[in-house]
Chain A
Amino acid sequence: MGRPSESHFGAAPYDFGGKWVPSELEITRRAARKARNIRNSIIAVVSSIVVIGGLALIAVTSPGWKSLSDTFFAWAYGVEVLPKIILGFGTNVTLTLIASTCVAILGLSIALIRTSRSPALAPFRILATLYVDIFRGIPMLLVILLIGFGIPALRIQGLTNNVLVLGTIAVIITYTAYVAEVIRSGILTIHPSQRAAARSLGLSHFQSLRYVVLPQAFRRVTPPLLNDLVALIKDTGLVSILGVTDAVRAAQIASSRSFNYTPYVMAAIIFLLVTIPLTRFTDRTLRRSIERQNATGVA
């Protein structure tokens, strides 16, 4: 029983003037770990080549491959129409920037109204709930059509007939409903004791929200909000239904002129060039926020 004498295990690794030098055991273990990591990487590479290469082989050797690649992967034509598609994509980017800003402000306001307790705000709570219920439940394409064709049909003086503006409004209305719910759920996950602690320090209702609840809530909902941003970029393509010349519409025009679908593939690639980096960024943010929460969880 008790602490064994040092002599059992050979020289202690602390003989070098108090400075630590890894023992032979540790050096062997590190080498073994490295060897295992190399082996794992080789296995990963080989299995990826086999699986992905196999799938590619099945596609390329299929009987319809020739005609499919002629219709969808006519790269020369694709490059020819690329400038027009990129120009159209500019519309998607602008639309995304404007819409995301408006959605952030409106979404936060609606979330705050829905989580408020004040009796005076009751009618606004009801209206906000109604709004969220309706626009979260209607397909966005329908909202775009209703607003894009419905508002001009009213023929009210001073109201715009610009399809781009109307399309943007439709996108904002729909996404505000989604984002408001994400933010609201974030606010609700903050434990009531946090608000109680803030209020007992003398902070007002608004101050507790502003300095204690919202900062924590936003940290939690950043990953889902970024996820919504990626979805928003894609969904701006839906306004093409109103005749807005965005990337989707530009591809459609180019495609119908030649009965070749390569422009669609080009448009898809352009969307991916933006959404994939954003998705990776979202993943990283999510992982970080999880790590941070775990770090505080363990003593």
Chain B
Amino acid sequence: MSQPVLEVKQVRKSYGSEVVLEDISFSVPVHTATVFIGSSGSGKSTLLRCINLLDQIDDGSIVLDGEDITAVDADVDKVRRKLGIVFQSFNLFPHMKVIDNITLAPMKVQGISKELARENAYKLLDRFGLHDKAENYPDRLSGGQQQRVAIIRSIAVAPRLLLLDEITSALDPVLVNEVLSTVRDLKIEGMTMVLATHEMGFAKQVADEVCFLHQGKILEWGTPAQILEAPQQAETKEFLKRVHEAGRL
């Protein structure tokens, strides 16, 4: 098997005396999606922030494409160029049109010409059915459209790994589907992804591996069928039961 895109080894993270992540290890092979599930405060977002080097880990290491990105001399900007991240709260730049939001990083970071960057951006917008929104400002778009633009913006730089942090949590149920189908398309095209989500049905569809995070530890992991349909741990069962009651399975 070829080298995994991401290897997380025994990562620990604490804020003061509160341990948020403890002994987290997993690896993400190329073209696969690893989905983290767990209740709020279980450490899902912190884990993604650590992978993106927004937070400094306390122990362990994170290896991206064979390179230890938690080494002291790691070039943070270079690492982030290989990563795409989409947040719960879109974070589009409100003072820029959709097309400029997408072409900013390719032009300024990768040094691609304006024409080429725009051409690529339009290709992506076409593919996800947002062509006619290109010249609009973000506040003219629905939440679902904004989040899809945010996804397009993060993949416009052709990242090795895409991190998606509860990208549908701020959307109403009607808009959730268009965003999720965008992610499904990316998965089909072979994008390697790490996701944190509350959408169990979606997790079942895109995940190659599902990890259940509980109080900062990976309590259970396996294929979607194993975890979502035949969980072994009591905490996992309890969590899934509550999700089911909330009507999201």
> A interface vs B, CB < 8 Å?
1-4, 6, 8-9, 12-14, 20, 22-23, 25-26, 29, 32-33, 36, 299
Q: Is the CB of A2 within 8 A of B70?
A: no
Q: Is the CB of B12 within 8 A of A3?
A: no
Q: A12-B10, A36-B72, A299-B45 are in contact. Are A25 and B59 (CB under 8 A)?
A: yes
Q: A4-B7, A23-B59, A23-B60 are in contact. Are A29 and B221 (CB under 8 A)?
A: no
Q: Determine the chain B residues whose CB is within 8 A of the CB of A23 once the complex forms.
A: 10, 59-60
Pick from A1, A12, A26, A33: contact of B58, CB below 8 A: A26
Q: Determine the chain A residues whose CB is within 8 A of the CB of B19 once the complex forms.
A: 20
Q: A1-B29, A1-B32, A299-B45 are in contact. Are A20 and B72 (CB under 8 A)?
A: no
Pick from B12, B26, B208: contact of A20, CB below 8 A: B12
Q: Determine the chain B residues whose CB is within 8 A of the CB of A25 once the complex forms.
A: 59-61
Q: Determine the chain B residues whose CB is within 8 A of the CB of A20 once the complex forms.
A: 12, 19, 22, 59
What is the bound-complex CA distance between A143 and B231, given in angstroms? 79
Q: Does B25 contact A (CB under 8 A)?
A: yes
Within 8 A of A (CB), among B16-48: 19, 22-23, 25-27, 29, 32, 45
> B interface vs A, CB < 8 Å?
1, 7, 9-10, 12, 19, 22-23, 25-27, 29, 32, 45, 58-61, 70-73, 87-89, 165-166, 208-209, 211, 218, 221-222
Pick from B7, B59, B222: contact of A22, CB below 8 A: B59
What is the bound-complex CA distance between A36 and B73, given in angstroms? 9
What is the bound-complex CA distance between A204 and B201, given in angstroms? 47
Q: Is the CB of B25 within 8 A of A3?
A: yes
By secondary structure, the B interface counts as: strand
Apart from A4-B9, A33-B72, list 20 A-B contacts with CB within 8 A: A1-B27, A2-B27, A2-B222, A3-B221, A4-B26, A9-B9, A9-B10, A13-B12, A13-B23, A14-B22, A20-B12, A25-B59, A25-B60, A29-B71, A29-B72, A32-B72, A36-B73, A299-B45, A299-B88, A299-B165
Q: Is the CB of B9 within 8 A of A12?
A: no
Q: Determine the chain A residues whose CB is within 8 A of the CB of B165 once the complex forms.
A: 299
**Chain A proximity of B197: nearest CB distance (Å):** 14
Q: Is the CB of A2 within 8 A of B12?
A: no
What is the bound-complex CA distance between A29 and B58, given in angstroms? 10
Q: Determine the chain A residues whose CB is within 8 A of the CB of B9 once the complex forms.
A: 4, 8-9
Q: Is the CB of B10 within 8 A of A2?
A: no
Q: Chain B residue with minimal CB distance to A13?
A: B59
Pick from A2, A6, A12: contact of B209, CB below 8 A: A2
What is the bound-complex CA distance between A167 and B54, given in angstroms? 53
Q: Determine the chain B residues whose CB is within 8 A of the CB of A14 once the complex forms.
A: 22-23
**Residue with the greatest number of chain B CB neighbours at <10 A, chosen from A6, A12, A20, A32:** A20
Pick from B25, B32, B70: contact of A29, CB below 8 A: B70
